[in-house]
Amino acid sequence: MTEAAAPTAKHRPRVFSGVQPTGALTLGNYLGALKRFVEMQDEAGMETIYCIVDLHAITVWQEPSSLRDAIRSVAAAYLASGLDPARSIIFNQSQVSAHAELGWICSCVVRLGWLNRMTQFKEKAGKNAEAQSGGLYMYPALMAADILAYRATHVPVGEDQKQHLELSRDIAAKFNKDFGVPDFFPLPEPMIGGPAPRVMSLRDGTKKMSKSDPSDMSRINLTDDADTIAAKIRKAKTDPEPLPEAAEGLDGRPEARNLVGIMAALTDRTVEQVLAEYAGQGFGVFKPRLAEAAVAHLSPITAEMSRLMADPAEIDRILADGAARADAIARPILAEVYDTVGLLRPRP
């Protein structure tokens, strides 16, 4: 794990991260993000801000009523995973206009050459880049604004977001340099780690597990019941070899590596500890044990999510309260940004 002290002493340690409400969350979102969000919430001295990034979600078409449901469902997943609104600020992005306002300024700081290098845009756009929204292309500038609006110092994300986070650092550094304000924005530190920083598809160990993958069998959803989880793991692609004694033995075996990494993350062990238990065993033994571990870990979360989803008004109340607290942090920082850039507007 990239554990780090605050990037500069000037800025208080503050965590920011988010998840897009683009569908049911996956085990990848859980292990790469939510589980780590909860760990950071419990770290002494850290202020934690967790956002449901709905403005990012609309960079690809979302059916409006499904989007509303998905925002509440991600909020329910946050709460059910252990985020506590008394200890973390939990809200949806569109309720705090500083994100969109600073997003525009970051769009003016980022360089086209930097955006052109973003592999996630290339992967999502595929061969049809011309037909994508401008928002999908500018996504990393809005992501930078999300983080910088709070002067966040630490950002827990899955490995797939590493490149975007590096761009956020570049935007922060360029802003500080262009306006002659060293240390105005801290350079946010990526927190990528754990035994499963990149959970892969159950159907193809070289492809990321993703909530927008057309195949539901490729992923475990946080809303899947125990039978569905067991069936998906049983049918997961593997190879005929037994499990090795050491992690190097997983080289060239992406599916095996993925399942072992998932087991390690779910049971709070290292890959080596899992291999010490299963070395020499085949997947006929390993898969049912993995299914048991997944069900034991996820079923309380799934049950709590459905309990919370039965009361959408309570979720909306938590989000509105979180938005007011987030706005109180972001608003004065945005006022400083406007002053620094030379934009004129009355003081509140």
**Which residues are catalytic, by number?**
124, 208, 211
What span, in angstroms and rounded, lies between the C-alpha atoms of 201 and 217?
Answer: 9
Q: Is 79 exposed, middle or buried (0-12, 13-18, 19+ CB in 10 A)?
A: buried
Nearer to ligand AQP, 174 or 198 (CB): 198
Residue 27: name the closest of 253, 243, 259 by CA: 259
Nearer to ligand AQP, 61 or 348 (CB): 61
Closest approach, Cβ 151 to ligand AQP, in A, equals 20
Which residue is closest to ligand AQP by CB? 32
Closest approach, Cβ 197 to ligand AQP, in A, equals 6
CA dihedral 281, 287, 25, 85 (to 10 degrees): -70
State the number of CA atoms in the 13 A half-sphere of 182 facing the CB: 2
Closest approach, Cβ 10 to ligand AQP, in A, equals 26
DSSP state of 279: T
Whole-number Cα distances in Å, 288 to 81, 184, 222, 257, 293: 24, 52, 19, 16, 9
Nearer to ligand AQP, 198 or 203 (CB): 198
Binding site for ligand AQP (CB under 6 A): 19-20, 22, 26, 28-29, 31-33, 157-158, 160-161, 198-199, 208-212
What span, in angstroms and rounded, lies between the C-alpha atoms of 131 and 203?
Answer: 28
Beta bridge pairs of residue 189: 154
Nearer to ligand AQP, 29 or 238 (CB): 29
Whole-number Cα distances in Å, 61 to 57, 143, 279: 8, 18, 46
Q: Is 240 exposed, middle or buried (0-12, 13-18, 19+ CB in 10 A)?
A: exposed
Nearer to ligand AQP, 61 or 284 (CB): 61
Closest approach, Cβ 198 to ligand AQP, in A, equals 5
Closest approach, Cβ 301 to ligand AQP, in A, equals 15
Give φ, ψ of 96 to 5 degrees: -120, 105
